[in-house]
Amino acid sequence: MKKEKIVVIGGGAAGLLAATAAARCGAETLLLEKMSRTGRKIGISGKGRCNITNSASVEEFLPHFGRNGRFLRQCFQNFFSEDIIKILGEQGVPSVLERGGRWFPRSGQAMDVVRALSQLVKESGVQVRHDTPAEEIILRNGAVCGVRAGEKLIECSRVILATGGRSYPRTGSSGDGYPIAAKLGHTVSELYPALVPLVSSKKLTGLDGLSLRNISLRLFVNGKCKAQEFGEIAFQDGKIAGPLVLTLSEKIVQLLKKGKEIELTVDLKPALDKAKLDARLRRDLEKRRGEQINSILRGLLPEELVEICLHECELDDSIDTTAFPAKQRLKLLHWLKDFRLPVVGYGGWAEAIVTSGGVSLKEIDPQTMQSRLVPGLYLVGELLDLAGDTGGFNLQLAFSTGWLAGESAAKAIAVSTPHMP
Ligand SMILES: Cc1cc2nc3c(=O)[nH]c(=O)nc-3n(C[C@H](O)[C@H](O)[C@H](O)COP(=O)(O)OP(=O)(O)OC[C@H]3O[C@@H](n4cnc5c(N)ncnc54)[C@H](O)[C@@H]3O)c2cc1C
């Protein structure tokens, strides 16, 4: 009897774990990767350091994926953060826990994670074919029977589709899996860039590279405050980024699409209420009487913000700081508590860390990751209608869904293929 085979399409975080799990369960497993090497996105993750996962519990993890997070409960119960940390440790890549429950490789090198996972698939007996883009999944009598890659038709009874999302297409994940899944009858919800920098109507290029830590950020939608967070924002390529903004970006992108007016306001001195900040300003002005206003502001603000503050508070160097007008002081006070950044757009796919939207979860069995529509098809990773916050949540989603699909597909084959005497 011909041995049944599993084909995994895509060698990213989800595909590498899916192939390993399938092979470890004894299935003949072939991994098709369209690029010349696997794991390219992992290699650039976490600014080259790879935030592997998070120390949060399963119940704490789920809300980081919004309403759809519930889908992942069984999957995380099957394979979770301690499992990937253990696997990497066994491959010679120990991890360290940092602020915010974030796990990183101790070496600080994302490429060590890529090497470990690429080695893992080979050691598990997976056959890996690089430079092989899969184009179509073939069905016979409604069930999976093969994969077409160029001229080649590869026979198999199970396919795990792990082609990733649409963000950072230069890593290989350019959204190939969505039309492949749609052709088989799956619903693909609208795709948006998520965890993406935001564009302001203000010119911000002078702020590139600046990070503002311990600030309070408020989100206004049509003039109404809808969220307030404390933490860090940053500026890059003339856009607003950093953890707080990236986390809010998924919601903001959708609001912008609906034509809502969006404004972010930054409280640069959240530890001081207005009265305390005013007392501080009076003290500074008194202590540094006669100095130029920009030098006084340097004691209050990062260098990069001084120019923009002077401009927005309509202050110039000629102002007499020995008799600083109360009206100007209050204007400065207000600005420090309420630095406004109107948001008019967002970065494109090349800048988005993840893809929001994807294959509908209603059409997938959360206990196996198998399609409810096509027997033998499994869908995993960023391709699904799931997008997590920053903090290691997205890689864990890929690892866990991949592992569950690999195990389930291999077990299903073991059941359907009777042992030869
Ligand atoms: C800059 C950046 C930094 C990030 N940092 C972090 C982080 O620190 N922590 C975190 O948790 N998440 C991070 N993420 C998100 C995380 O990397 C992704 O969510 C995760 O890699 C998705 O895994 P995946 O396997 O579903 O897809 P991918 O990792 O994108 O893998 C998909 C694979 O499929 C291949 N492929 C695509 N189409 C085909 C085809 N037709 N045939 C064959 N192969 C195909 C691709 O070449 C690719 O190798 C980051 C993302 C980016 C862009």
**Ordered per-residue pLDDT tens for the chain, 421 residues:** 456 799 999 999 999 999 999 999 999 999 999 999 999 999 999 999 999 999 999 999 999 999 999 999 999 999 999 999 999 999 999 999 999 999 999 999 999 999 999 999 999 999 999 999 999 999 999 999 999 999 999 999 999 999 999 999 999 999 999 999 999 999 999 999 999 999 999 999 899 999 999 999 999 999 999 999 999 999 999 999 999 999 999 999 999 999 999 999 999 999 999 999 999 999 998 988 888 888 889 999 999 999 999 999 999 877 878 888 899 999 999 999 999 999 999 999 999 999 999 999 999 999 999 999 999 999 999 999 999 999 999 999 999 999 999 999 999 998 776 554 4
Integer Cα distance of 120 and 21 in angstroms: 10
Q: 154: Cβ below 6 Å to ligand 1?
A: no
Q: 41: Cβ below 6 Å to ligand 1?
A: yes
Cα of 58 to ligand 1 centre, how many Å?
Answer: 22
Alpha carbon of 396 to those of 97, 326, 350: distances in Å?
15, 54, 22
Cα of 283 to ligand 1 centre, how many Å?
Answer: 52
Q: 354: Cβ below 6 Å to ligand 1?
A: yes
Q: 10: Cβ below 6 Å to ligand 1?
A: yes
Cα of 19 to ligand 1 centre, how many Å?
Answer: 15
Q: 167: Cβ below 6 Å to ligand 1?
A: yes
Q: Which positions ≥6 away from 352 have C-beta within 8 Å?
A: 166, 167, 168, 193, 194, 195, 196
Cα of 255 to ligand 1 centre, how many Å?
Answer: 26
Name the residue with the closest Cα to ligand 1, atom 13: 45
Q: Which numbered atom of ligand 1 lies nearest the CA of 11? A: 49
Query: Which of the listed residues 36, 173, 191, 399 should we mutate to test ligand 1's pocket, taking the one with most ligand atoms within 8 A of CB?
Result: 173
* CA 333 to chain CA centroid, nearest Å: 36
Name the residue with the closest Cα to ligand 1, atom 3: 45
pLDDT at position 421, please?
Answer: 43
Cα of 350 to ligand 1 centre, how many Å?
Answer: 13
Name the residue with the closest Cα to ligand 1, atom 38: 163
- Tokens representing residue 191 in the block: 């795709």
CATH 3.50.50.60 residue window(s) in the chain = 5-193+352-416
Cα of 396 to ligand 1 centre, how many Å?
Answer: 12
Cα of 12 to ligand 1 centre, how many Å?
Answer: 5
Cα of 193 to ligand 1 centre, how many Å?
Answer: 14
Angle CA 31–35–38, to nearest 5: 55
β-pair type (211-221, 262-267): antiparallel
- Tokens representing residue 233 in the block: 């924002």
Name the residue with the closest Cα to ligand 1, atom 53: 353
Cα of 376 to ligand 1 centre, how many Å?
Answer: 23
Cα of 417 to ligand 1 centre, how many Å?
Answer: 33
Q: 105: Cβ below 6 Å to ligand 1?
A: no
Cα of 385 to ligand 1 centre, how many Å?
Answer: 14
Name the residue with the closest Cα to ligand 1, atom 5: 45
Q: Which numbered atom of ligand 1 lies nearest the CA of 135? A: 41
- Tokens representing residue 378 in the block: 């499994």
Q: 235: Cβ below 6 Å to ligand 1?
A: no
> Which phi and psi (to 5°) does residue 399 adopt?
-60, -45
Q: 8: Cβ below 6 Å to ligand 1?
A: no
pLDDT at position 3, please?
Answer: 62
Q: Which numbered atom of ligand 1 lies nearest the CA of 38? A: 49
Q: Flag whether the pTM goes above 0.75.
A: yes
Q: 381: Cβ below 6 Å to ligand 1?
A: yes
Integer Cα distance of 50 and 84 in angstroms: 13
Alpha carbon of 400 to those of 80, 135, 311: distances in Å?
6, 25, 50
As a residue count, the chain comes to: 421
Pick the CATH number of 5-193+352-416 from 3.50.50.60, 3.40.50.720, 3.40.640.10, 3.40.50.620: 3.50.50.60
Integer Cα distance of 371 and 183 in angstroms: 13
Instruction: Specify which residues 194 forms β-bridges with.
Output: 354
Name the residue with the closest Cα to ligand 1, atom 31: 12
pLDDT at position 42, please?
Answer: 98
Q: 43: Cβ below 6 Å to ligand 1?
A: no
